[in-house]
Chain A
């Protein structure tokens, strides 16, 4: 079913030059911070030092006296408009629980006040002179405690969910979703054995190198122009206008080059601040978060506790499975419902032959930094547990992990009841898998890592060191079906080139390039002839933005449709010019050829005729696309690790990712997405971690102590692109940007088990934690002393 049709592409599938790469390498491209007007006010934000407190007084009188201070905002002088900072479809599936400035703070890093001043120094000086009286309230750090009767309550009765979804501020419940298929108890009763485990994932940061930033100014006619580092220009426009109480049309959001997002900028956080300052003062304003503010105050990957319980027959048949996911939303609920939904929705369909299935996803408030969208979006957290669980189960029935997965995973032509049961925060849509080459991913990845030679061998290169291999499989999606809409418009120029305007936001992924490739392929044009302009709400048509692995598939389909419409117009004109039938014409390298006579007419001539000849018109088109399904990319990932039994240090020696993302539009950009996601995933497993003190303050809000890898930390990292053909995708493509982050943590955990027989249920695998687990499970082999802090059997 997924065999690619007999068609040779001329642009798709080729590693054309990424359209902005040279300008980025030279340094002429501009990012948000490179635009700021010289007379812009500098914005600085006062953050809460308390995890939970009422603000009973704010005294700004001394701050106002600081020379250069122009405006100070706080809850007392800014309208309290409840909203969510999540940049999602409207109305958002996230609760409206946030004010721009509130009289209550709910985590260390929550916003208290803002100063706009002539210089950054003046703004910072003034911040220090704002006097705030807090009455501390009881903090709440433990998500397990959040729903208890006597737990401190974070949000008042005014907070609400704009959609009919489960939300209960009184119980700190930021979101809840559940479904049951079949009869779970019956399934467990039928099983030969039941396996139950709890897996914990931790809070981490996106670490896009460009900090969150935005600037605003009024244009010549008094409209508000916001330049922003955003993944969601249109959502940013909508939310900003709403918070300012002005019509959407009064706001223009422009997204220039963007220095990485990974989900962190699917959040409308900074735009309303500069917009509010500019709207009040009439002055341009600019705000660039410090790295510390990014860590403390923006968004994180949610921590999640996933309890998996499985009933299994001795032959490996799963009779019942229950996944209970409890997510720590942090102080507010952007994405609180949808991330936990995706945890089940994108992981459970992978094993689609389980007759009795239950999912419970709950998302609770705590007085910790706020979770948000982060590459993988809940699937990462779920797959950490699920892949280890499958490894445990396969071992219990004496089967190889890979053989087991191949026997039970979803296949082409099959469906899963989960697709319908669980969408993003509500019911999903039925879909049949049209393309799945997971078997080939597994086989080729296993070959590359040397699975047969290494698995279970516990090779030891030196005393005290032992090696193992582990694998993980995953799927994601391609956009949110029925919700994500993308639009494109195109017009033809005299030289046969096209302007392609898309609402899609290229956040560094190369989206502009692959959308140009799709248009070029449809039109039979060299890719340089497609001039892309993206992400400007005044100029480009709507697009929900860069999230949910939607751009290649959803925006790509819109572009293909739009280009097809232009192609039809060209053919009609060319038929007339060539005196031929449209059916006999083909588009080829910038001209139209009559297949019968071999006569050609160049696109440029077509354009000139339509623009300057008789009965002129502009060859142009616009198209919109909404996916009716969300074809998942599939991936198998493999880690070879070496565990130092005396120090607990885990080194990844080799890592292989084999991915089926349909037809790769640009194979090298596919590899780039996979490699970036994979290294992010390895770092998630080994090094990255928010560490908190007793009052909920992040102890390591700096690259000095929040460690992300440099080039020398990268293991051998390989990507295998397994092509398939997704019938609903543009030229057979599916999306690929998120999936690569799902596998590293569980693959490494499974490899550690393969090496040592010790299982790690909690991320991250810091050396000390690993050593404790080794000690607890294989005494006598790991150094001389029992580690004083060692406890329990599970790390």
Chain B
């Protein structure tokens, strides 16, 4: 695990890096990412097999190279730290978390994140997700390149016969840490591609932010809407990135 700040303040440590929980495995449509896989390794592995492009992009740009080479998937899932760029794509993919210890089971990531009790006395051994031919769009709101994002926005769209079969929209970084934008997902089900998107989508979700160094709560809420509309336009609209 990686700690923002001076490592020498940490007391008590178990080295998990030699536990053999590392790497990307594929079983049919399902991918399993071991907990001690670093961001760099995971991004590279996903890129190599062309899987989960939003996730591999998020992993490949979070923090910075020397940190991506140390930060692990499991550590980030367990602690949901500032640079959790990967959480949006993982949530959007409907990932599952594999736990050992006091509780030994596989739970949806959403449940894991919202149930603090699951983190007590458990060890994340990895996460799994199934990939489908999603169209993906991913945005991280940062000041400069090496920054933790104020928020990330992940859009996944499954398109069949030029219509939106399924849409998943996840915002990470709001006051509730993350939000699945179900209003938007519902509103665009069956939406025919390439046509004009309904107006005001950026305002049509209820998310509250806290003030961040990147801007006030009101500002972040507003530009989250701007980026939502831009993303949807790129993904589903006439393709023009507004």
B12 to chain A, nearest CB (A): 16
- CB pair A771–B219 under 8 Å, yes or no, is yes
B198 beta carbon closer than 8 Å to chain A: no
A787 to B218, CA, bound (A): 8
A783 to B146, CA, bound (A): 28
- CB pair B222–A464 under 8 Å, yes or no, is no
- CB pair B242–A768 under 8 Å, yes or no, is no
Contact with A along B165-185 (1 / 0, CB 8 A): 000000000000000000000
A783 to B202, CA, bound (A): 10
Contact among A121, A687, A768, A784 with B219 in the assembled complex (CB-CB below 8 Å): A768
Chain B residues numbered 191-242 whose CB sits less than 8 Å from any CB in chain A: 200, 202-203, 213-216, 218-219, 222-223, 226-227, 240-242
A98 beta carbon closer than 8 Å to chain B: no
Across-interface contacts of B227 in A (CB, < 8 A): 647
Contact among A121, A462, A708, A768 with B215 in the assembled complex (CB-CB below 8 Å): A768
- The winner among A646, A691, A766, A767 for most chain B CB atoms within 10 A is A646
Which chain B residue shows the least CB distance to A290? B6
Q: A647-B223, A789-B216 are known contacts. Are A462 and B241 too (CB-CB below 8 A)? A: yes
- CB pair A691–B213 under 8 Å, yes or no, is yes
Contact among B143, B203, B219 with A789 in the assembled complex (CB-CB below 8 Å): B219
With an 8 Å Cβ cutoff, the count of chain B residues facing the other chain is 28
B147 beta carbon closer than 8 Å to chain A: yes
Across-interface contacts of B216 in A (CB, < 8 A): 768, 789
- CB pair B213–A687 under 8 Å, yes or no, is no
- CB pair B144–A705 under 8 Å, yes or no, is no
Across-interface contacts of A687 in B (CB, < 8 A): 143-144
Contact among A462, A463, A707, A787 with B147 in the assembled complex (CB-CB below 8 Å): A707
- CB pair A784–B213 under 8 Å, yes or no, is no
Contact among B143, B147, B226 with A783 in the assembled complex (CB-CB below 8 Å): B226
A713 to B144, CA, bound (A): 6
Across-interface contacts of B240 in A (CB, < 8 A): 462-463
Across-interface contacts of A709 in B (CB, < 8 A): 144-145
B4 beta carbon closer than 8 Å to chain A: yes
Chain B residues numbered 133-148 whose CB sits less than 8 Å from any CB in chain A: 143-148
A710 beta carbon closer than 8 Å to chain B: yes
A785 to B216, CA, bound (A): 15
Across-interface contacts of A431 in B (CB, < 8 A): none
Which chain B residue shows the least CB distance to A464? B242
A691 to B148, CA, bound (A): 17
B45 beta carbon closer than 8 Å to chain A: no
Across-interface contacts of B219 in A (CB, < 8 A): 767-768, 771, 787, 789
A788 beta carbon closer than 8 Å to chain B: yes
Across-interface contacts of B4 in A (CB, < 8 A): 704
A689 to chain B, nearest CB (A): 9
- CB pair A712–B241 under 8 Å, yes or no, is no
A700 to B64, CA, bound (A): 19
Chain A residues numbered 699-721 whose CB sits less than 8 Å from any CB in chain B: 699-700, 702, 704-705, 707-710, 712-713
Contact among B146, B147, B200, B215 with A767 in the assembled complex (CB-CB below 8 Å): B215
Contact with B along A643-677 (1 / 0, CB 8 A): 00011000000000000000000000000000000
Contact among A462, A705, A771, A785 with B213 in the assembled complex (CB-CB below 8 Å): A705
A700 to B214, CA, bound (A): 12
A159 to B226, CA, bound (A): 55
Q: A463-B242, A464-B242, A784-B203 are known contacts. Are A707 and B144 too (CB-CB below 8 A)? A: yes
A227 to B203, CA, bound (A): 60
Across-interface contacts of A787 in B (CB, < 8 A): 218-219, 222
Which chain A residue shows the least CB distance to B142? A707
A702 to B5, CA, bound (A): 9
Which chain A residue shows the least CB distance to B145? A712
With an 8 Å Cβ cutoff, the count of chain A residues facing the other chain is 30
B201 to chain A, nearest CB (A): 11
Across-interface contacts of B203 in A (CB, < 8 A): 784-785
Which chain B residue shows the least CB distance to A712? B145
Chain B residues numbered 4-22 whose CB sits less than 8 Å from any CB in chain A: 4-6, 8
- CB pair A766–B144 under 8 Å, yes or no, is no
A14 to B97, CA, bound (A): 61
Contact among A691, A783, A789 with B218 in the assembled complex (CB-CB below 8 Å): A789
A768 to B209, CA, bound (A): 15
Across-interface contacts of B6 in A (CB, < 8 A): 290
B151 to chain A, nearest CB (A): 12
Across-interface contacts of A290 in B (CB, < 8 A): 6
A704 to chain B, nearest CB (A): 6
Across-interface contacts of A768 in B (CB, < 8 A): 215-216, 219
Chain B residues numbered 52-85 whose CB sits less than 8 Å from any CB in chain A: 64, 82
A501 to chain B, nearest CB (A): 40
- CB pair A710–B242 under 8 Å, yes or no, is no
Across-interface contacts of B143 in A (CB, < 8 A): 687, 707
Chain B residues numbered 24-61 whose CB sits less than 8 Å from any CB in chain A: none
- CB pair B242–A462 under 8 Å, yes or no, is yes
A642 to chain B, nearest CB (A): 13
Which chain A residue shows the least CB distance to B199? A784
Across-interface contacts of B218 in A (CB, < 8 A): 787-789
Contact among B145, B202, B226 with A713 in the assembled complex (CB-CB below 8 Å): B145
A6 to B227, CA, bound (A): 60
A788 to B220, CA, bound (A): 12
Which chain A residue shows the least CB distance to B220? A768
Q: A647-B226, A710-B144, A789-B219 are known contacts. Are A784 and B200 too (CB-CB below 8 A)? A: yes
Contact among B144, B200, B226 with A646 in the assembled complex (CB-CB below 8 Å): B226
Across-interface contacts of B222 in A (CB, < 8 A): 783, 785, 787
- CB pair B145–A710 under 8 Å, yes or no, is yes
B19 to chain A, nearest CB (A): 29
Contact with A along B101-140 (1 / 0, CB 8 A): 0000000000000000000000000000000000000000
A409 to B198, CA, bound (A): 55
Which chain B residue shows the least CB distance to A766? B215
B114 to chain A, nearest CB (A): 26
Contact with B along A618-656 (1 / 0, CB 8 A): 000000000000000000000000000011000000000
Across-interface contacts of B200 in A (CB, < 8 A): 784
A725 to chain B, nearest CB (A): 40
A768 to B213, CA, bound (A): 11
B2 to chain A, nearest CB (A): 13
A494 to B227, CA, bound (A): 71
Contact with B along A103-137 (1 / 0, CB 8 A): 00000000000000000010000000000000000
B128 to chain A, nearest CB (A): 31
A309 to B136, CA, bound (A): 54
Across-interface contacts of A767 in B (CB, < 8 A): 214-215, 219, 223
A380 to B136, CA, bound (A): 44
A710 to B202, CA, bound (A): 31
Which chain B residue shows the least CB distance to A699? B213
A463 to B237, CA, bound (A): 14
Across-interface contacts of B145 in A (CB, < 8 A): 709-710, 712-713
Across-interface contacts of A712 in B (CB, < 8 A): 145-146
Across-interface contacts of A710 in B (CB, < 8 A): 64, 144-146
B220 to chain A, nearest CB (A): 9
Across-interface contacts of B223 in A (CB, < 8 A): 646-647, 767
- The winner among A121, A700, A713 for most chain B CB atoms within 10 A is A713
Which chain B residue shows the least CB distance to A704? B4
Across-interface contacts of B64 in A (CB, < 8 A): 710
Which chain B residue shows the least CB distance to A646? B226
What are 13 of the A-B contact pairs (CB < 8 Å)? Answer: A462-B241, A462-B242, A463-B242, A699-B213, A702-B5, A704-B4, A707-B147, A710-B146, A713-B144, A766-B215, A768-B216, A783-B226, A787-B219
Interface residues in chain B, defined as those with a beta carbon under 8 Å from any beta carbon in chain A: 4-6, 8, 64, 82, 143-148, 200, 202-203, 213-216, 218-219, 222-223, 226-227, 240-242
A-B residue pairs, 6 tightest by C-beta: A712-B145, A768-B215, A768-B219, A646-B226, A647-B223, A788-B218
Apart from A646-B242, A767-B215, 15 more pairs, CB < 8 Å: A462-B240, A462-B242, A463-B242, A704-B82, A710-B64, A710-B146, A712-B145, A713-B145, A767-B219, A771-B219, A783-B222, A783-B226, A785-B203, A787-B218, A789-B219
